[in-house]
Structure 1
Amino acid sequence: MSTSKGSAAKGGGGKKKEVKKETKLGMAYRKDDNFGEWYSEVVVNSEMIEYYDISGCYILRPWAMEIWELMKEFFDAEIKKLKLKPYYFPLFVTENVLQKEKDHIEGFAPEVAWVTKSGKSDLEAPIAIRPTSETVMYPYFSKWIRSHRDLPLRCNQWCNVVRWEFSNPTPFIRSREFLWQEGHTAFANKEEADEEVLQILELYRRIYEEFLAVPVSKGRKSEVEKFAGGLYTTSVEAFIPNTGRGIQGATSHCLGQNFAKMFDITFENEKGVREMVWQNSWAYTTRSIGVMVMTHGDDKGLVLPPKVAPIQVIVISVPYKDADTTAIKGACESTVYTLNQSGIRADQDTRENYSPGWKYSHWEMKGVPLRIEIGPKDLANKQVRIVRRDNGAKVDIPVTNLVEDVKVLLDEIQKNLFKTAQERRDACVQVVSSWDEFTTALNNKRLILAPWCDEEEVEKDVKARTKGELGAAKTLCTPFEQPELPEGLRSDEGRSKASGAERNQNQANQSCQWTSKDAGDHYSSEAWEREYFQ
């Protein structure tokens, strides 16, 4: 298992330290000095969000929504290959249905928002706003599924959900309303359900690693951390080196037959015998955007991987005194047109009330991967100057090679962002085999890989013993890719004496990732990890 310490959006504390401002767009906080303030500044100044007058709610501006739509485009196409159908279920759910599966709703109960009035009149019965949709959908699964011919039933919806958080809200990471995709499926047997769980988990890995350039671990959640009411939960887990905390990026659950029992979802098999279905649910949210910001952003602002950048190339004219501004403008327009025709998302900043330097800082703040500058010298030499956002490297390329060279650079930036993030994450991984090593690594903000017996009592004991001094260690997942365990290693390191001597003889049979107070997931058990930011 892995663990990490500290809040993903907190870190460094420290006094406000102003960054050198070449323009009025300079950042007031450095990422390494005050991570929380830096993050808040980046998501606002890059025009991703605007604060709303209800705490915990945010306006997602086009710069964020376009990133979400690019991920949605990929994911939608992939799940349609798996025969998923689009649905939209109502936002509201009645109290009696919501309470039907008590184990499932228990973790959500404190944050469920209720509608109790219509105008000035009290409703006859309060209506909940969905915190998740199992209890909204499954009464109708029972209605639609009658025979084995109705299976598998596979539906997905893109929607919002509401969870009335009371802990510190943070844009994207922790909000009272957020966007997500949620898939809900029913199968005739467990084998088909198990297969889909891993298919979806692999798509989530691809979203994070291939699109957002964020390295993640795939694995299985512990019994303590699994989705309440489900059979087992798999997840992809990210890690923020600046704070030493993990973030649960997305989850794919096998629900088993628990919900089928509660909502009477049965079918008649080929032999005419009635059986219960096997179900899955899975989701990822706009939290993924926040993880990307935390991973790649720097002291100039946002840094976007090209695959999710709404604008991959920004073109800026650099007219000097007595320059042929008309010709330069024409060259800029031609460059944008050529790039757009080749499938590259390019645009031109034509604002005349800002200097080129101001524009440079503006688009650096917004994280655009490549900047193209065109001035009199470039015009004369039939070239353009290209500046990379990820490392600041500058190169002059001939106009004749424009499309080919830009595509190569975008691919290099995508790979470099992932490679850099992976190296930073891997440098924080520490393999431990004793309790002393465990607590030391936790205190040093490490992502811990530790031998694990996978017993609930032991996990709760570790949390209790580390809560005050170290910040409550918690498991992220048991990674599917396992290291070799030293022969004879026992699983009783760090246990309380109450565990029982005979149980202390159990052998560790796998390694698990740990972190301290992981950021949690909007789709997790235990009230979506309310420890984050405390």
Structure 2
Amino acid sequence: MGKNLTKRDEDYSKWYNELVVKADLAENSGVRGCMVIKPYGFAIWEKMQAALDKMFKETGHENAYFPLFIPKSYLSKEASHVEGFAKECAVVTHYRLKNADDGSGIVVDPEAKLEEELIVRPTSETIIWDTYRKWIQSYRDLPLLINQWANVVRWEMRTRLFLRTAEFLWQEGHTAHATEKEAVEEAEQMMHVYADFAENHMAVPVIKGTKTESERFAGAVETYCIEALMQDGKALQAGTSHFLGQNFAKAFDVKFATREGKQEYVWATSWGVSTRLMGALIMTHSDDNGLVLPPKLAPIQVVIVPIYKGLEQLDAISQRVNPLVEELRAKGISVKFDKRDTHKPGFKFNEYELKGVPLRLAIGQRDLDNGTYELARRDTLEKETVAGEEVVGRIEVLLADMQKAIYDKALAYREQHITQVDSYDEFKNVLEEKGGFISAHWDGTAETEERIKEETKATIRCIPIAVEKESGSCMVTGKPSQERVLFAKAY
């Protein structure tokens, strides 16, 4: 199964597309640009969701749900917001179908036109801030810390499974605060939460930073982001958190009474990550044999494959394996004992290698006689023989080691692919020959940023926040620059 994949160095895009389908993660649907997330892919998303949801609740956030449909007039209330999303919106204009008079099939009933068109949610700021106007009256109602897990629709022309689809799953947090300082701290906190999740659960190293004005979320005063680097040298935005100032509060007239009895507009944030993280997970770790999953997000952490001839031998293996399965599950380790008699062990080995199961235990007659297991780890493909009484401890050690090892490997790749340049010619050369992040000076103007994008297809991924500022000269114009920024071609 895994052996039929296109090699990454032959065609990275084709390798990715094949892997998503062959590993049973997702497939294209009958609706153009939309995907079906299959059970194995959804199981990974559920583990992501559970980990993030726990982190959100630990920082004081609560879950709610808001409508899928947004009245068109709501979007027009915040000018930069509607401008940012206008070209991606799906619009509902009618509420009823009917059989055509000539019997040719079903048509839209022209008598059922909506008084006001409804927008299928591209993001929920407008419907949520219209609701918050009713929820917020006084400083006692603040801060309001709400998250929702939902689907959104952004009408994409060129789609790719997980990375860019017309409909996708995500979470979106929307918070209201009494002061600017509190709102900025919230936006920064959520960026750090996302980075923590990416690095400690996904094993994906990220760079934290802010977006340039032209790359900010529509309607935001500041956008914080985490940027990851894929194996093909392209960047991927893995999460964003936005300080919205008072823009939406003013647009929807959301005021509160202060302790002194004055009426003031609240301060806002919004933040989100989506099923695009699945794409980041695949492209950061996987290899020519298939998926490589971090143990913390693997739906199956350990698979046990029996090698047997006849039911009697299988029964003997099962008697040995069943207590082990119970012991592993009691320790919170997800395990599958694959006793299917419809597939040979070699097929199963290939299948679980393709699906990125971190550890594989094989047991045959010789292992029964010797009281051992053959243990193979997915990331390095190394095998070892382990005594039965030591196998649980060894599994625990290897799962922890794998989680760290694949992070360290991704980090080493990223560090090798951050290149500092001082001239535009050098920039272009590194971009084409090496790829990755390029650290360079920029004069801070949107004109220069757009010129670089048009001429090279590279964008400013972020202005890093964890590095010391270094003044210099813009690589393109020679004008003064206060700090280096990170450029890359990106998904």
Normalised by the size of structure 2, how large is the TM-score?
0.94
Which residue of structure 2 aligns with residue 489 of structure 1?
Answer: 472
Whether contact under 8 Å (2:19, 2:290) holds in the other structure is yes
Instruction: Specify the alignment match of 1:5 in structure 2.
Output: none
Residue 335 of structure 1: which of 324, 345, 349 is its match?
A: 324
Task: Specify the SS of the correspondent of 1:73.
Answer: helix
Counterpart of 2:149 in structure 1 is 158
Look up the equivalent residue of 2:440 and give its one-letter code: A
Q: Counterpart amino acid of 2:390?
A: N
1:45 matched to 2:22: yes
Q: Contact conserved, 2:418 with 2:437, CA < 8 A, in 1?
A: yes
Match of 1:439 in 2: 428
Partner in structure 2 of residue 36 of structure 1 = 13
Gap runs ≥5 in structure 2: 98-108
Match of 2:215, SS state, is coil
- Please state how far the C-alpha of 1:129 moved relative to its aligned partner: 0.4
The CA distance in 1 between the partners of 2:378 and 2:458, in whole Å, is: 36
Mapped pair 1:179 → 2:164: no
Q: How does 1:241-252 map to 2 (within 5 A)?
A: 241-242=231-232, 244-252=233-241
Contact 1:182 1:281 in 2 (8 A): yes
Q: Where does 1:227-242 land on structure 2 (aligned, <5 Å)?
A: 227-242=217-232
Aligned-pair distance for 1:463? 2.1
- Provide, for residues 433-454 of structure 1, a one-character-per-residue CA deviation record: whole Å limited to 9, x for no partner: 1222212112222310112343
Q: What is the 5 A alignment of 1:40-439?
A: 40-118=17-95, 119=97, 120=109, 121-166=112-157, 168-242=158-232, 244-320=233-309, 324-439=313-428
* Percent identity of paired positions between Structure 1 and Structure 2: 39
Measure the CA separation in 1 of the matches of 2:321 and 2:28: 35
Question: What is the Cα deviation at residue 482 of structure 1?
Answer: 1.6
Letter in 1 for 2:389: T
SS in 1 for 2:342: coil
Q: In the alignment, is the contact (CA less than 8 A) between 1:303 and 1:366 conserved in 2?
A: yes
Contact 1:312 1:346 in 2 (8 A): yes
Q: CA deviation at 1:311?
A: 0.4
Higher relative contact order (CA 8 A, sep 6+): 1
Cα distance in structure 1, aligned partners of 2:327 and 2:371: 15
Matched residues in 1 for 2:44 and 2:192: separation? Answer: 20
Secondary structure, counterpart of 1:458 in structure 2: helix
Local SS of the residue matching 1:26: helix
Within the candidate set 443, 446, 453, 1:456 is matched to 446
Task: Give the deviation of 1:321 after TM superposition.
Answer: 7.5
1:480 to 456, 460, 465: 465
- Partner letter of residue 103 of structure 1? S
Structure 2 letter corresponding to 1:138 = W
CA distance in 2 between counterparts of 1:399 and 1:238 reads 40
Q: Deviations over 1:469-493 (max 9, x none)?
A: x3x22100011122563xx6223x3
Stretches (4+) displaced over 3 A: 320-323
Is residue 2:4 matched to residue 1:27?
Answer: yes
> Is the Cα–Cα contact under 8 Å of residues 320 and 375 in structure 1 kept in the other structure?
no
Partners of 2:421 and 2:231 in 1: CA distance: 18
Contact 1:25 1:358 (C-alpha < 8 Å) held by counterparts: no
- In structure 2, the partner of 1:500 is none
Instruction: Give, in whole Å, the separation in 2 of the partners of 1:32 and 1:65.
Output: 28
Q: 2: distance between equivalents of 1:78 and 1:297?
A: 26
- For residues 319 and 34 of structure 2, what CA distance do their matches in structure 1 show? 43
Distance in 2 (CA, whole Å) between partners of 1:358 and 1:191 is 58
SS of the residue corresponding to residue 336 of structure 2 reads strand
Equivalent residues of 2:176, 2:266 under 8 A apart:
yes
Distance 1:322 1:116, change over 3 A: closer
Q: Unpaired segments of 5 or more residues in structure 1?
A: 1-23, 496-503, 520-534
**Rounded Cα–Cα distance in structure 2 between residues aligned with 1:188 and 1:54:** 44
Report what 1:514 is aligned to.
Answer: 487
Distance 2:295 2:195 in 1: 17
CA distance in 2, matches of 1:365, 1:270: 60
Conserved 8 A contact 2:163-2:276: yes
Quick one: which amino acid aligns to residue 261 of structure 2? Answer: G
CA-to-aligned-CA distance 1:73-126 (integer Å, 9 cap, x gap): 122122212221211001001111122112112121111011122222332332
Change (3 A) 1:90 1:322: closer
CA separation in 2, counterparts of 1:292 and 1:274? 46
The Cα of 1:384 is off from its aligned counterpart by 1.1
